[in-house]
């Protein structure tokens, strides 16, 4: 399973939150691998631990409540979890980076666009002022910002949402990272802008042979942008497969339910399918399979024990007793 | 187990209550409770009459010091009045002044904020200019002039503090009203042709109560301090009434020889004001996370 | 921008006229300076004569007109008590107030912002707890009590600092601390909450994601954004300090505006009271305007129309 | 030639040396030495500028007293003694007072003090725009001032003014005519010049006066070189200054007396009998309004209900029980007039007899400067059933009460603070004018005061008799009741060796007689 073209490998990652109501196991034994040039979709309902997984990868779990309690995060063979804060600062933004959810909020309102890109380059690379300037222009051009010389001197509030998100992208790409995490990067944009942004990134990703983790709750995006999909439920990856394989042969009842809940062209509005019940509260998980209370195929064993991971087809893994 | 627990409604309610009271500043609440109980039932707790002078026992130190006696636990002042009793009696005055001022200043502030924020236009312009005017006047200077005009009495202190206190509420609450005015339920109520008065009272007012409560709690401490400042300048609650401010003021001349005269009322002010501030902070976080400008 | 400033100036003018009316009638209601000045053996005629020389015999609205038309020409009238133009008296005291005010301000800003920022960075740590208690005490203790305790400790018992008056930097320490502590409290609390607010925001996450070192994240990205509420508060504090802080000035015998006004009020020196209150209000309004304009420089999102 | 030159040089050198040595010798023995700092509270009307004729308040005298000379002066027994005037005479009809000036007195610039300066000063005081405290009185009574020769000046009166001599001794500072006319009033206020025992060095209004010994003073060259007069309002701050040595002498807050007594280095210095506190029955001034105080028994009950000894103890002797309207230094004072005893039982009986067995409600107006005293008094009154609400307005409100006739019930009868003066003006103050807002319905009282004023011209014995008559009448009528005599207390630090004061005049020091300890 471990192969050398894996840029990022996550093994049994556990991130817990210690609150007054108990321990919240937001990420509870997540493992996956990301190949060079691959785009992995991380899908799940809100609150299932997708974002926390991403922040765990770059070691920015909200302190002091959150703590990474176990596992390994191997970036090009180095375990990030053993690094100290100073070393991490040098890795973040340079080798692994992230685009945040809300483009309106993720740029600092009081600095110019130019400054915000510049400083990223400045802390990671030893370049002259002019070189940085040139690089910034190049990055802006890369993300298709018209007249970069002018835009560089402007403030975030002077730009549209789509443009701002592309600038976030430019910041993320400015140091040629190996891994880019896009955390719901398009959710806040409207549909046409979303499409533009996605195709731009797909293009950049292919050109630069960049590895990407695309966090989303939208299978449409997955279908368009991702090579593989990992489905998360209650802090665990319940299914992980190539995109096409997953769409065609979903193995886990949760994945099936998710796919069914997508509106399809031929479906009438009133038959729109939804998953019954609420996602479980992470601080009080049932002892067995966490999806059991909502599962239509629930068996006796599901209440008792969590299913182990099984390879249901080559490269297609799932965690469900049904596939036992 | 978990299932059983969640099945019982009272248990669930208990959890909810626990949730609401999470991180409540217990010490502050206790101090304030004692303060309020003393304020209302003070007469039953006083070892002596608060204004009763004992000329034979002038400036008795607190009981643990040499020369102190258990008769006067915290000692006596320059007229031989029992300091503990006066502090308990002072709670009544502080409570009275504090709450009445906050109530009336708050009420006036709410009315102005509602009228100004909701009706807008010329009324807003006029009311806001008046509010500005009151906000830009130097507080203590005007308070002193007002106190000099009205004369020193508890009633007049309340008038002075209300006159100078309402504008702060009006300013902050008006902002809230402007925000809430644009919310859907107000627009709906408008479409449903509710009267303006009804919209203001039934739809907008309940939504600014949180802010009002937070502001009021934080102001309680400020009112007590303001009252004590005026008393310090001889324009506060007139003697022999045991106002904490005047007690510290009385004792300030004796600070080198009889520290307890001003120390204990000073501590009473410290504890109550600190508690109201802590409680106010807590309320602010619980009730209105966005509100933090004060 | 120019339009905005014009509009604000117009509003300020209305505001000041209102204040002048209020303070004029209030102070004239408060009593009669003539009786305080007159000799105990003065007869009714002497008193009337004194009243005439002071111009206090005319109807109130005439006196108001005389007063306000003087103010428009920059003349605040003659102080009854000092027999000098009010503005001269005010100016003679202002440097002292400015000195004490700036010292207290510097203290409160340095200590307050530092404590607030550090508390916010390490929420719940010992520094946060200590800072909170320090801030709360500053806000909850009566100023004169603090002042007297300082005198007791540092002047009488230790003999390190002079009790009162002014002259050297040593005279400045205790009053500046007493005053500063009170203002530190609010500054600390506000810096802390503003910083917490900012530190919670997406762009701070973004700055960390970008791999910026922590000091840059806090000092550059967070602090600059937290500065806006802090500046508002600092400006308001400054005005309170410049208008004189009666109680500290009384305790430390500091010859500032605060004591001047209190004495003027007790002496019913109307012109001086009016002058000081009006100038105080003007300073307040001007500072507010200045701060609003300053915002536009700190926060590029703000535009005035 | 050479030898002559040398001899001259040596001679000159020797002369200079001798001169220098003798000079330094004299400096060691007679020159003023040391610095003395006095700190007093400041009222609302303290000194604003050093022009003694514009002082409008009561206790702003300290700087003028040391910078200027007056025609007359008071000795430590309170008796008038010559200062600029070597001699003074009042004509038998009281319409002319002559002053014969000393020839030794000089202003700081060396010009002699002459009759024209006196005339100028008196006339200047009468100018209404200067708002001189006693200007009205002078305008009413003074007819003209006549310069007889350089050292003899006569003041002619329209009517006899018994208080004129007090004005002369207390307020009428003599200013240089030529200098003042040259620099103008404003110029004088900027840079004053007098002839007093100290010369002005610097002045900050309401804060500080620094003065240096005037070595040419005609009466007494001071022992101390530098005097610093400071104003500090907070009593505790003043005490702290004394303790730290920043001040040599302070005006002491009575509550600090026990604290000061604990410190062996600090001495208490009393100015006894500075002002009389009386009980005042305001309702007596309103004949149409019913009031319990119209009954003499009720007025007596009030007095018996007050424990004067306890009040005196409460203020550590800063007040003493008193039973007369006269002070010990007044002619006619009778020490057998003892204060009313403390007898609450009798007070209750009197109240019951007057028809108030359960007491009644009233107001007690006290002065804000002495809250302790009046709080205690009210507590005592409440004990016997006179349920008084305490009202303590500050000075401005007090003045407003005066104009609006708002005083009711009972109160602290402000005896005049100039108790050190002749009995005439002191007693009169209890009957009419500023200090008697209640007014008095007793014509016989006014008559007997007029008798007293006339008796002043007839010699001390007549004056004493007349003063005693007024005192008797007032005591008999119970218009007011003597309560306490206030003693002003100062505290002096270890450096002060001796100090002279004037009874009853706490603001007027004889700083030129103050001695500091030599090290």
The CA distance from C138 to D218, in Å, is 57
Lowest mean pLDDT among B234-238, D38-42, D45-49, D269-273: D45-49
**C3-25 as b/e, with b when 16 or more CB fall inside 10 Å?**
eeeeebeebbeebbebbbebbbe
Q: Output the six-digit token pair for C271.
A: 């012109």
Tokens of residue D49, six digits: 């500028």
**Structure confidence by residue, pLDDT tens digits, A290-321:** 888 888 888 888 888 888 888 888 888 888 88
The answer to whether the Cβ–Cβ distance between B233 and C246 falls below 8 Å is yes
Asked if D394 and B255 come within 8 Å (Cβ–Cβ), the reply is no
CA distances C170 to B215, C154, C160, D157, D206, Å, are 39, 11, 9, 57, 22
pLDDT score of B10: 64
CB B224 within 8 A of CB B244: yes
**Do residues D206 and D42 make contact, with C-beta atoms less than 8 angstroms apart?**
yes
CB C23 within 8 A of CB C261: no
pTM above 0.80, yes or no: no
Contacts of B255 in chain C (CB under 8 A): 148-149, 152
DSSP string, B67-130: T-BTTBTT-B-TT--BHHHHHHHHHHHHHHHHHHHHHHHHHHHHHHHHIIIII-HHHHHHHHHH
* Residue to substitute from A89, A155, A181, interface C, most C β-carbons within 10 A: A89
At which residue do the structure tokens 């990407």 appear?
A212
What is the Cα–Cα distance from A9 to A100, expressed in whole angstroms? 21
- A contacts of C208 (beta carbons < 8 Å): 60, 92
**Residues lower than pLDDT 50 in chain C:** none
pLDDT score at D421: 62
Answer for the pair B91, B42: CB distance below 8 angstroms, yes or no. yes
Counting Cα atoms < 13 Å in the Cβ hemisphere of B198 gives: 9
Q: Which residues in chain C (221-240) have CB-CB distances under 8 A to chain B?
A: 229, 232, 240
**What separation, in Å, do the N-terminal and C-terminal C-alpha atoms of chain D show?**
52
Query: B25, B141, B244: which to substitute to probe chain C, counting the most C Cβ within 10 Å?
Result: B141
- Pull the structure tokens for residue D298: 């009720």
Bridge-based pairing state of the strands A316-318 and A310-313: antiparallel
The pLDDT value given to residue B22: 64
Asked whether residue A58 is assigned to any structural domain, the reply reads: yes
Q: Could you tell me the residue ranges of all domains in chain C?
A: 90-261
Parallel, antiparallel or unpaired: strands D226-231 and D208-213: antiparallel
How distant is the Cα of A31 from the closest Cα of chain C, in angstroms?
22
Given an 8 Å threshold on Cβ–Cβ distance, is C203 in contact with A109? Answer: yes
* DSSP code for D111: P
Question: In this predicted model, what pLDDT tens digit does every residue of B34-55 receive, in sequence order?
Answer: 888 888 888 888 888 888 888 8
Task: Write the residue in D140, D240, D396 that is nearest to C268 by C-beta.
Answer: D396
* A39 CA: distance to closest CA in chain C (Å): 20
CA distance C130 to chain D (A): 31
C201 contact A CB<8A:
yes
Helix (H, G, I), strand (E, B) or coil at C253: coil
Q: Which residues pair with D145 in a beta bridge?
A: D155
- When mean pLDDT is compared across A241-250, A253-262, D316-325, the lowest value belongs to A253-262
Which structure tokens are listed for A157? 């509030």
What tokens were used for C209?
Answer: 């994601």
> B96 to chain C nearest CA, in Å?
19
d(CA B138, CA B172): 19
Q: How far apart are CA B40 and CA B98, in angstroms?
A: 13
Find the residue in D nearest to C268 (Cα).
D396
What is the SS3 assignment for A11? strand
Q: What is the pLDDT of residues B188-226, one digit of tens each?
A: 887 887 788 888 888 888 888 878 888 888 788 888 888
Residue C214 at interface with chain A, using a CB cutoff of 8 Å = yes
Smallest CA–CA distance from C93 into chain D, residue: D205
- Interface partners of chain B (CB pairs < 8 Å, 3 or more) are C, D
* pLDDT tens-digit series, residues D361-419: 999 988 777 888 888 999 899 989 999 988 888 777 777 787 777 888 888 876 665 55
Asked whether the beta carbons of B173 and B110 are under 8 A apart, the reply is: yes
Distance (Å) from the C-alpha of residue B107 to the closest C-alpha of chain C?
A: 22
A183 neighbourhood in chain C, CB within 8 Å: none
Give the per-residue pLDDT at B286.
73
CB D134 within 8 A of CB D167: yes
CATH number at residue A317: 3.40.50.300
B235 touches chain D (CB under 8 A): yes
> Is C14–B138 a contact, with Cβ atoms under 8 angstroms apart?
no
Cβ-nearest to B53 among D240, D379, D390: D379
The CATH T-level fold of domain B37-292 is MetI-like fold (1.10.3720)
Stretch B132-157: mean pLDDT? 83
* Interface contact B257, partner D, CB < 8 A: yes
Whether residue A156 is contained in a domain is answered as no
CA atoms within 13 A on the CB side of B17: 6
Residues C162 and C89 sit within 8 Å (Cβ to Cβ): no
With CB atoms and an 8 Å threshold, state whether D207 touches C255.
yes
Highest mean pLDDT of the ranges A224-233, B177-186, C61-70, D93-102:
D93-102
CB atoms under 10 Å from CB of D469, counted, come to 16
- Indicate the number of domains in chain A: 1
- Report the pLDDT value the prediction gives residue D107, as an integer from 0 to 100: 93
CB D199: neighbour CB atoms within 10 A? 19
Q: How far apart are CA A93 and CA C217, in angstroms?
A: 13
What's the CATH number for C90-261? 1.10.3720.10
Calculate the average pLDDT of chain A. Answer: 81
Token duo for residue B274: 């600190």
Task: Extract long-range pairs of B152-158: CB within 8 Å, 24+ residues apart.
Answer: B152/B234, B152/B235, B152/B236, B152/B237, B152/B238, B152/D392, B152/D393, B153/B237, B153/B238, B154/B93, B154/B96, B154/B97, B154/B237, B154/B238, B154/B241, B157/B97, B157/B227, B157/B230, B157/B236, B157/B237, B158/B97, B158/B100, B158/B101, B158/B104
Could you state, in order of their start, the residue ranges of all structural domains in chain D?
35-254+493-516, 272-487
Mean pLDDT of B265-279: 87
Contact status, residue D368 vs residue D392, Cβ threshold 8 Å: yes
- Taking CB atoms and an 8 Å cutoff, what residues of chain B touch D398? none
pLDDT digits (tens, 9 = 90+) for D234-274: 788 888 888 888 899 998 988 889 888 888 889 898 888 88
Report whether pLDDT(A198) > 60: yes
CA–CA gap between residue C219 and residue C224 (Å, rounded): 7
Instruction: Tell me the range of A24-33, A130-139, D226-235, D337-346 where mean pLDDT is highest.
Output: D337-346
Answer whether C92 sits within 8 Å of D49, measured CB to CB: no
Distance between CA atoms of residues C142 and D349, nearest Å: 47
Q: Which member of A105, A107, A124 has the closest CB to residue C211?
A: A124
Q: Closest chain C residue to B140 measured between Cα atoms?
A: C246
Say how many CA atoms lie within 13 Å of C42 toward its Cβ.
Answer: 25
Nearest-CB residue to D375 (from B240, B254, B256): B240
* Tokens 């997955």 sit on residue: A222
Tell me which residue in A85, A100, A171 faces C205 most closely, judged by beta carbons.
A100
ipTM: 0.72
- What gap in Å lies between CA A248 and CA D499, rounded to an integer? 112
Residue C218, min C-alpha distance to chain A (Å): 12
The reply to whether residue B256 touches residue D235, judged by beta carbons under 8 angstroms, is: no
Question: Which residues in chain D are closer than 8 Å to C267, comparing Cβ atoms?
Answer: 44-45, 395-396
Q: Does C261 touch chain B (CB under 8 A)?
A: yes
* Local confidence band at D226 (pLDDT 50, 70, 90 cut-offs): very high
Q: pLDDT by residue (tens digit) across A139-184?
A: 888 888 888 888 888 888 888 878 888 888 888 888 888 888 888 7
B255 touches chain D (CB under 8 A): yes
For residue C281, the Cα-to-chain-centroid distance in whole angstroms is: 10
Contact C266 D236 (CB under 8 A): no
**Of how many residues is chain A composed?**
324
The residue of chain B nearest to residue D255, with distances taken between CA atoms, is B254
Nearest Cα of chain B lies from the Cα of D263 at a distance, in angstroms, of 12
- Show the CA angle centred on residue A162, arms to residues A157 and A164, nearest 5°: 40
CA distance B6 to chain C (A): 32
Calpha distance D102→D84 (Å, rounded): 6
Chains A and D touch (3+ CB pairs under 8 A): no
- Report the DSSP beta bridge partners of residue D7: none
Domain that holds residue A224: 6-95+177-264+271-323
CATH architecture assigned to D35-254+493-516 = 3-Layer(aba) Sandwich (3.40)
User: Is C212 near chain A, with CB under 8 Å?
Assistant: yes
Distance from CA of C213 to the nearest CA of B (A): 29
Determine the Cα–Cα distance for residues D165 and D89; give it in Å rounded to an integer: 11
Chain D CB contacts of C153 under 8 Å are none
Contacts 24+ apart (CB under 8 A), D367-370: D367/D392, D367/D398, D367/D412, D367/D414, D368/B234, D368/D392, D368/D393, D368/D394, D368/D395, D368/D398, D370/D412
The set of long-range contacts for B127-134, using a CB threshold of 8 Å and a minimum separation of 24, is B127/B170, B128/B174, B129/C11, B129/C14, B129/C15, B129/C18, B130/C18, B131/B167, B131/B170, B131/B171, B131/B174, B132/C11, B132/C15, B133/C15, B133/C18, B133/C19, B133/C22, B134/B163, B134/B164, B134/B166, B134/B167
Whether residue A103 is contained in a domain is answered as no
Compute the distance between CA of residue C239 and CA of residue C249 in angstroms, rounded to an integer: 16
Does D have 3 or more CB contacts under 8 Å with B? yes
Say whether C194 and B130 touch across the interface (CB within 8 A).
Answer: no
Chain A contact partners (≥3 CB pairs within 8 A): C
Instruction: Please state, as a whole number, how many other Cβ atoms lie within 10 Å of the Cβ of residue D332.
Output: 23
Handedness of CA B262, B268, B274, B280 (dihedral sign): negative
Asked if C122 has any chain A CB less than 8 Å from its own CB, the reply is no
pLDDT of residue D48: 59
Class of the CATH domain delimited by D272-487: alpha beta
**Subunit contact A120:C211, Cβ cutoff 8 A:** yes
């Amino acid at each position: 399973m471990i192969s050398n073209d894996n840029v990022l490998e996550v093994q049994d990652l556990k991130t817990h939150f210690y609150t007054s109501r108990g321990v919240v196991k937001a990420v509870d034994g997540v493992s996956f691998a990301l190949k060079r040039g691959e785009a992995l979709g991380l899908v799940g309902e809100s609150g299932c631990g997708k974002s926390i997984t991403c922040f765990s990868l770059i070691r920015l779990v909200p302190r002091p409540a959150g703590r990474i309690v176990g596992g390994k995060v191997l970036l090009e063979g180095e375990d990030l979890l053993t690094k100290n804060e100073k070393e991490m600062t040098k890795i973040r933004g340079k080798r692994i980076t992230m685009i945040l959810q809300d483009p309106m909020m993720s740029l600092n309102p009081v600095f110019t666009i130019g400054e915000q890109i510049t400083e990223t380059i400045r802390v990671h690379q030893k370049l002259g002022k002019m070189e940085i300037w040139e690089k910034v222009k190049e990055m802006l051009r890369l993300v298709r910002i018209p007249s970069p010389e002018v835009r560089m001197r402007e403030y975030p509030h002077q730009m549209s949402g789509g443009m701002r998100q592309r600038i976030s992208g430019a910041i993320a790409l400015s140091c040629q990272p190996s891994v880019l995490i896009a955390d719901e990067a398009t959710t806040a944009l409207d549909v046409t802008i979303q499409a533009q942004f996605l195709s731009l990134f797909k293009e950049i990703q292919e050109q630069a042979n960049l590895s990407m983790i695309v966090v989303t709750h939208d299978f449409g995006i997955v279908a368009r942008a991702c090579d593989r999909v990992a489905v998360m439920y209650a802090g665990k990856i319940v299914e992980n497969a190539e995109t096409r394989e997953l769409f065609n042969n979903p193995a886990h009842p949760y994945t099936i339910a998710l796919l069914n809940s997508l509106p399809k062209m031929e479906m009438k509005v009133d038959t729109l399918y939804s998953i019954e019940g609420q996602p479980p509260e992470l601080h009080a998980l049932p002892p067995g399979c966490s999806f059991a209370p909502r599962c239509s195929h629930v068996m006796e064993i599901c209440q008792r024990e969590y299913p182990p991971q099984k390879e249901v087809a080559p490269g297609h893994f799932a965690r469900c007793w049904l596939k036992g | 187990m978990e299932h059983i627990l969640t099945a019982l409604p009272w248990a669930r309610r208990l959890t909810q209550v626990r949730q609401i009271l999470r991180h409540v500043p217990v010490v502050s609440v206790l101090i304030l409770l004692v303060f309020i109980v003393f304020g209302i039932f003070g007469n039953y707790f006083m070892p002596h009459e608060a204004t009763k002078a004992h000329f034979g026992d002038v400036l008795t130190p607190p009981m643990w010091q040499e020369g102190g006696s258990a008769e006067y636990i915290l000692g006596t002042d320059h007229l031989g009045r029992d300091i503990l009793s006066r502090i308990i009696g002072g709670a009544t005055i502080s409570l009275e002044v504090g709450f009445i001022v906050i109530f009336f200043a708050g009420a006036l502030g709410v009315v102005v904020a509602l009228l100004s924020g909701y009706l807008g236009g010329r009324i807003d312009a006029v009311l806001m200019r008046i509010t500005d005017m009151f906000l830009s006047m130097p507080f203590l200077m005007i308070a002193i002039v007002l106190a000099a005009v009205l004369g020193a009495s508890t009633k007049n202190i309340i008038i002075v503090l209300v006159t100078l206190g309402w504008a702060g509420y009006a300013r902050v609450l008006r902002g809230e009203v402007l925000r809430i005015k644009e919310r859907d339920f107000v627009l709906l109520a408008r479409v449903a042709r509710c009267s303006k008065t009804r919209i203001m009272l039934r739809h907008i007012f309940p939504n600014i109560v949180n802010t009002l409560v937070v502001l009021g709690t934080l102001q309680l401490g400020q009112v007590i301090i303001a009252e004590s400042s005026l008393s310090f300048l001889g324009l506060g609650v007139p003697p022999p009434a045991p106002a904490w401010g005047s007690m510290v003021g009385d004792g300030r001349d004796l600070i080198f020889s009889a520290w307890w005269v001003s120390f204990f009322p000073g501590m009473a002010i410290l504890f109550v004001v600190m508690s109201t501030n802590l409680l106010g902070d807590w309320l602010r976080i619980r009730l209105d996370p966005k509100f933090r400008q004060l | 921008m120019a339009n905005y400033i014009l509009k604000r100036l117009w509003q300020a003018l209305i505001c000041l006229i209102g204040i002048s009316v209020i303070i004029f009638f209030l102070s004239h209601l408060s009593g009669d300076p003539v009786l305080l000045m007159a000799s105990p053996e003065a007869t009714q005629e002497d008193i009337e004569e004194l009243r005439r020389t002071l111009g206090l015999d005319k109807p109130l609205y005439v006196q108001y007109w005389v007063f306000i038309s003087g103010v428009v020409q920059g003349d605040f009238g003659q102080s009854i008590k000092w027999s000098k133009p009010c503005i001269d008296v005010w100016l003679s005291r202002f440097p002292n107030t400015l000195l004490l005010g700036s010292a207290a301000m510097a203290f409160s800003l340095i200590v307050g912002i530092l404590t607030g920022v550090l508390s916010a960075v390490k929420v719940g740590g010992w520094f946060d707890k200590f800072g909170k208690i320090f801030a709360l005490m500053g806000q909850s203790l009566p100023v004169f009590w603090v002042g007297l305790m300082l005198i007791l400790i540092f002047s009488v018992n230790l003999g390190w600092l002079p009790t009162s008056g002014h002259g050297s930097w040593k005279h400045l320490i205790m009053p500046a601390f007493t005053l500063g502590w009170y203002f530190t409290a609010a500054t600390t609390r506000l810096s802390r909450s503003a910083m917490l607010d900012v530190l919670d925001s997406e762009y701070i996450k973004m700055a960390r994601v970008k791999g910026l070192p922590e000091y840059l994240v806090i000092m550059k990205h967070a602090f600059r954004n937290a500065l806006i509420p802090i500046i508002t508060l600092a400006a308001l504090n400054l005005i309170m300090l410049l208008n004189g802080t009666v109680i500290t000035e009384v305790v430390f015998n500091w010859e500032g505006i605060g004591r001047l006004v209190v004495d003027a009020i007790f002496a019913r020196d109307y012109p001086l009271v009016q002058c000081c209150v009006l100038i105080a209000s003007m300073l307040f309004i001007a500072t507010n305007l200045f701060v609003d304009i300053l915002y536009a420089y700190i926060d590029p999102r703000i535009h005035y129309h | 030639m050479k030898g002559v030159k040398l001899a001259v040089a040596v001679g000159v050198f020797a002369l200079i040396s001798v001169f220098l040595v003798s000079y330094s010798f004299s400096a060691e023995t007679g020159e003023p030495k040391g610095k003395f700092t006095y700190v007093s509270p400041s009222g609302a009307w303290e000194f604003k500028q050093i022009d003694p004729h514009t002082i409008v308040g009561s206790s702003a005298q300290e700087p003028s007293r040391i910078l200027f000379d007056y025609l007359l002066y008071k000795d430590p027994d309170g008796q008038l003694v010559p200062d600029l005037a070597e001699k003074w005479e009042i004509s038998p009809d009281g319409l002319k007072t002559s002053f014969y000036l000393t020839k030794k007195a000089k202003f700081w610039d060396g010009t002699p003090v002459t009759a024209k300066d006196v005339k100028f000063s008196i006339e200047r005081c009468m100018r209404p725009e200067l708002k001189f405290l006693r200007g009205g009185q002078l305008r009413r009574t003074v007819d003209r001032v006549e310069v007889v020769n350089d050292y003899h000046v006569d003041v002619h009166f329209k009517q006899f003014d018994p208080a004129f001599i007090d004005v002369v001794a207390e307020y009428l500072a003599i200013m240089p005519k030529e200098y003042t006319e040259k620099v103008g009033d404003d110029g004088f206020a900027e840079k004053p010049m007098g002839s007093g025992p100290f010369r002005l060095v610097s002045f900050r209004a309401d804060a500080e006066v620094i003065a240096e010994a005037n070595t040419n003073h005609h009466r007494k060259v001071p022992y101390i070189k530098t005097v610093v007069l400071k104003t500090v309002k907070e009593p505790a701050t003043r005490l702290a200054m004394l303790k730290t040595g920043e001040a040599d002498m302070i005006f002491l807050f009575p509550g600090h007396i026990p604290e000061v007594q604990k410190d062996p280095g600090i001495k208490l210095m009393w100015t006894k009998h500075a002002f009389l506190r009386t009980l005042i029955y305001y309702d007596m001034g309103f004949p149409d309004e019913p009031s319990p105080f119209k009954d003499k028994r009720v007025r007596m009950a009030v007095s018996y209900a007050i424990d004067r000894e306890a009040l005196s103890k409460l203020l550590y002797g800063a007040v003493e029980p008193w039973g007369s309207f006269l002070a010990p230094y007044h002619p006619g004072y009778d020490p057998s007039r003892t204060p009313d005893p403390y007898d609450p039982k009798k007070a209750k009986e009197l109240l019951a007899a007057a028809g108030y067995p359960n007491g009644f409600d009233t107001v007690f107006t006290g002065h804000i400067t002495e809250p302790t005293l009046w709080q205690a008094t009210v507590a005592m009154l409440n004990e016997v059933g006179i349920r008084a609400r305490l009202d303590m307005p500050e000075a401005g409100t007090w003045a407003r009460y005066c104009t609006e006739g708002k005083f009711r019930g009972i109160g602290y009868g402000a005896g005049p603070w100039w108790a050190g003066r002749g009995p005439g003006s002191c007693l009169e103050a209890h009957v009419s004018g500023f200090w008697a807002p209640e007014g008095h319905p007793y014509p016989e009282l006014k008559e007997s005061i007029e008798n007293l004023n006339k008796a002043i011209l007839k010699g001390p014995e007549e004056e004493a008799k007349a003063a005693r008559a007024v005192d008797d009448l007032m005591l008999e009528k119970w218009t007011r009741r003597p309560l306490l005599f206030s003693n002003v207390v100062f505290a002096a630090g270890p450096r002060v060796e001796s100090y002279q004061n004037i009874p009853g005049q706490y603001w007027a020091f004889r700083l030129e007689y103050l001695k500091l300890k030599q090290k």
